[in-house]
Amino acid sequence: MSKDVYVLGGYQTDFARNWTKEKKHFLAMMREAVLGGLERTGIEPSEIEVAHVGNFAAELYCMQGHLGAFFVEIDPAFSGIPTGRHEAACASGSIALLAASAEIEAGRYDLACVVGIEQMKTVNAAKGGDFLGTAAWYDREAKGIDFPFPKLFGKLGDEYDKRYGLKDEYLAGISTVNYANAKHNPNAQTRTWYMNKGHALCRNEHNAEVGGRIRIADCSQVTDGAAAIFVASADYAKKWAARRGVGLDDIPRIKGWGHHTARLRFVDKVAESKDDEYVLPHVRSTITDAWERAGIADVAGIDAIETHDCFTTSEYMAIDHFGITKPGESWKAVDEGWIELGGKHPINPSGGLIGAGHPVGCTGVRQVLDAHHQVKDSAGDLQVKGAKNVQTLNIGGSGTTSVSFIVGV
Amino acid sequence: MSKDVYVLGGYQTDFARNWTKEKKHFLAMMREAVLGGLERTGIEPSEIEVAHVGNFAAELYCMQGHLGAFFVEIDPAFSGIPTGRHEAACASGSIALLAASAEIEAGRYDLACVVGIEQMKTVNAAKGGDFLGTAAWYDREAKGIDFPFPKLFGKLGDEYDKRYGLKDEYLAGISTVNYANAKHNPNAQTRTWYMNKGHALCRNEHNAEVGGRIRIADCSQVTDGAAAIFVASADYAKKWAARRGVGLDDIPRIKGWGHHTARLRFVDKVAESKDDEYVLPHVRSTITDAWERAGIADVAGIDAIETHDCFTTSEYMAIDHFGITKPGESWKAVDEGWIELGGKHPINPSGGLIGAGHPVGCTGVRQVLDAHHQVKDSAGDLQVKGAKNVQTLNIGGSGTTSVSFIVGV
């Protein structure tokens, strides 16, 4: 039995939409993603054997649990199929994919649908910020604090500053690249926004501070969105490829993955890593585990990255943790333009969480879908030329749960 | 590579405790279950490779998500290990075990810890009842309704009454057996309660109606509780067995499992099954899939059952769905004493959800732990003599997600 897991394609909703304003339940969003994905992949509903849903906190945003079961409501053919919901804060989508891929590797099923979903615009910004605090240790790090997460990721910048020095202009550079890439992404939340380097660089009242060194332009978006992908065993993928007139070798697969969890509180993470060259060593292990499983030596084997830029500081951290620069020298990659779409290490061709948007439980699935488009050479204006291996990094909490996938052909 | 998954043992907290009154965070409960389990199994913390947490709605009860990451806080040796949280309403514990066992079957890890946990006594009964409504389709079945779940399971009784006839005395009989068994369970919530057949049979104001034909004595308990189990590959189990001086054959394993999801709303389930001999056919398939995977022909091969008696009607449904009687004749099994501890088909030696308690996300894990004790002949006063194969049935929502495991030696 081959243990390969193939990614057949999928669908992402338009992240600029506000489903509350449209007076629609999140089921409508899930339905659009799944039915859209089935249409694009030419898969029949009756072929789906199992469904895994990634969602962070519909209990809070939508007063609804049991998200897996909503999958069954999408199509009569789904009645009876096994479902489950998986959560690890902002890494929920990746946790759902890990559960789905494990079941395929184990031979339980041949074809799974993985849906990442979050409807966040049901509440105002302050309440939403409080809800996001439940991704940290709420009682100790978030309760009674306005917008706890920008503050936590501000501290990540502070830690870099302390250990290696950090100039705000490099954070602004990261923001600029993400907004610029998003301009070309037809599903990006910010694609029509006015945003340029001058604005991102502006560190005054025109770009308000929300948490220490984190300003508005450093933040990812509050987003309603869903993404569905279909993952399959070699047996199913072979048949599916044949009916599309292509070979199994043309179908992207998950070549490697990594998954680690650090301590919850940011202060405990930093205390643990004080003698380490990496600020978040468990994130580093997540990345290198994925390389090891994929048989890739280092970042030179990765053609593009979709990373978790919940704030500019998390992408700044990702740059050296991926080994694009030595630890503490991420600024070089920004300065030299390496992370831009035409650069030697393009990061977030999609625009990432800052430009494309960050529907929390959806993000990990959206990243893998974008990676799939890249290696299929079907990413349109976002295409990284000749991309064969694309790596994702999805992070829950303040660097707590991290998951990485390498999708390649 | 053997795909067998072994259950090495574990630990259940005392379900009679109220952790809010003790002023303790749920992490204390998780820690007790995991460290207690490690001690009982002689496993070192450093041996645990991955952790899966089953939890329904800590976001609502405790304003906390990202439950998987709390595992890391238990012991310094856990820093960095992969974790995730899994949810399917009251079947969350089983969904966590399915994720863990898939990873072991896939060869990703050799030793996993699965923790089921729920802290529910943080809120009053009315608010808790509302939170439980998020296991159903909240907007359509629960919003603005006091105690929606007893009402939904009251309708299950009504459906049986309509199709086959149902006398309340049989529901009272089910309640009586669960309470009686719980008397002998040192971890049961109701072990010190005064409850007898006379009380359960009482269908008047001394046993108040909470939802149609569902009265207080028909209900499971609101419970704070956690259970941890350790599941392993054959490779690890063999070494572990050797250091305990026993053979691999002495170690219980998961012989089979089933997993299905029906439509969310109870009214849609019943419409779908109107021409079926089973009221909840997807629950039936869950049970029979487990038999098929275990190579067991029918219920005659099962020595005891731990089933999901969130209400007496759900156990009434389970009796015929397990094939103990013909469809609609569950009353016979109650009347003849078959489901009692000394009967031919003992159900819930532990006392089940009615007697032992129902910490929602914990229940599926607790059932498997109790099944493990039965087949290890270590169930004390709850022991079903000579039990070799014990089957669980864990249900989320109004019969929506169902999961079953067969644990055997």
DSSP line for A296-358: --SGGG-SEEE---SBHHHHHHHHHHTTSSSTT-HHHHHHTTTTSTTSSS-B-TT-HHHHT-B
Predicted confidence (pLDDT) at residue B1 exceeds the cutoff of 80: no
- CB–CB of A69 and B396 under 8 A? yes
Predicted confidence (pLDDT) at residue A202 exceeds the cutoff of 90: no
For residue B95, being part of any structural domain is answered with yes
Distance CA A337, CA A328 (A): 17
Chain A residues whose CB is inside 8 A of the B80 CB are: 260-262, 281-282, 285
For residue B52, being part of any structural domain is answered with yes
pTM: 0.98
Any chain A CB within 8 A of the CB of B64? Answer: yes
The stretch B393-409 carries a mean pLDDT of 98
Residues ≥6 apart with Cβ < 8 Å to B30: B53, B70, B71, B74, B115, B117, B226, B228
Partner B, chain A 119-138, Cβ-Cβ below 8 Å: 134-138
Determine which of A189-198, B250-259, B348-357, B358-367 has the lowest per-residue pLDDT on average. Answer: A189-198
Q: C-alpha dihedral over A192, A194, A195, A199, to 10 degrees? A: -170
β-pairing, B304-306 vs B389-392, is parallel
Question: Is the CB of residue A62 less than 8 Å from the CB of residue A121?
Answer: no
Distance CA A138, CA B62 (A): 9
Any chain A CB within 8 A of the CB of B199? Answer: no
β-pairing, B111-118 vs A401-408, is unpaired
Predicted confidence (pLDDT) at residue A352 exceeds the cutoff of 50: yes
Tell which of A1, A23, A66, A401 to mutate to test the B interface (max B CBs under 10 Å): A66
Question: Is the CB of residue B70 less than 8 Å from the CB of residue B31?
Answer: no
Distance between B55 CA and the closest CA of chain A, angstroms:
10
CA-closest candidate to residue A252, choices A229, A277, A279: A229
Q: What is the CATH number of the domain that holds B69?
A: 3.40.47.10
For residue A251, being part of any structural domain is answered with no
Distance CA A275, CA B189 (A): 47
CA-closest candidate to residue A372, choices A406, A404, A326: A406
Determine how many CB atoms are found less than 10 A away from the CB of residue A385.
11
The stretch B172-179 carries a mean pLDDT of 96
The stretch B38-54 carries a mean pLDDT of 98
What is the phi/psi pair of residue B292, to 5°? -60, -45
The stretch B368-394 carries a mean pLDDT of 98
Distance CA B267, CA B220 (A): 22
Determine how many CB atoms are found less than 10 A away from the CB of residue A126.
10
A298: its two tokens: 């280092």
Q: What per-residue confidence (pLDDT) applies to A260?
A: 98
Q: Sorting pLDDT into bands at 50, 70 and 90, what band is A22?
A: very high
The stretch A57-73 carries a mean pLDDT of 98
Q: What per-residue confidence (pLDDT) applies to B205?
A: 80
B53: its two tokens: 């947490």
Domain total in chain B: 1
Predicted confidence (pLDDT) at residue A161 exceeds the cutoff of 60: yes
A283-322 tens-digit pLDDT: 999 999 999 999 999 999 999 999 999 999 999 999 999 9
Partner A, chain B 148-187, Cβ-Cβ below 8 Å: none
CA-closest candidate to residue B117, choices B44, B249, B238, B11: B11
Domain of residue A14 covers: 6-123+223-243
For residue A259, being part of any structural domain is answered with no
Predicted confidence (pLDDT) at residue A1 exceeds the cutoff of 60: no
B69-94 tens-digit pLDDT: 999 999 999 999 999 999 999 999 99
Q: Report the amino acid identity of residue B176.
A: T
Q: Which of B57, B80, B281 sits opposite A282 (nearest CB)?
A: B80
Looking at every residue in chain A, the average pLDDT score rounds to 97
Q: What per-residue confidence (pLDDT) applies to A197?
A: 81
Any chain B CB within 8 A of the CB of A59? Answer: yes
Q: What per-residue confidence (pLDDT) applies to B228?
A: 99
Distances (CA, A) of A176 to A40, A186, A331, A348, B133: 32, 18, 14, 12, 44
B214-271 tens-digit pLDDT: 999 999 999 999 999 999 999 999 999 999 999 999 999 999 999 999 999 999 999 9
Predicted confidence (pLDDT) at residue A325 exceeds the cutoff of 90: yes
Q: Sorting pLDDT into bands at 50, 70 and 90, what band is B2?
A: low
Residues ≥6 apart with Cβ < 8 Å to B66: A87, A88, A89, A134, A135, A136, A264, A396, A397, A400, A401, B85
- CB–CB of B59 and A60 under 8 A? yes
Question: Is the CB of residue A321 less than 8 Å from the CB of residue A364?
Answer: no
The stretch A43-50 carries a mean pLDDT of 98
Q: Report the amino acid identity of residue B319.
A: I
Looking at every residue in chain B, the average pLDDT score rounds to 97
Q: What per-residue confidence (pLDDT) applies to A2?
A: 62
ipTM of the complex model: 0.97
Q: Sorting pLDDT into bands at 50, 70 and 90, what band is A377?
A: very high
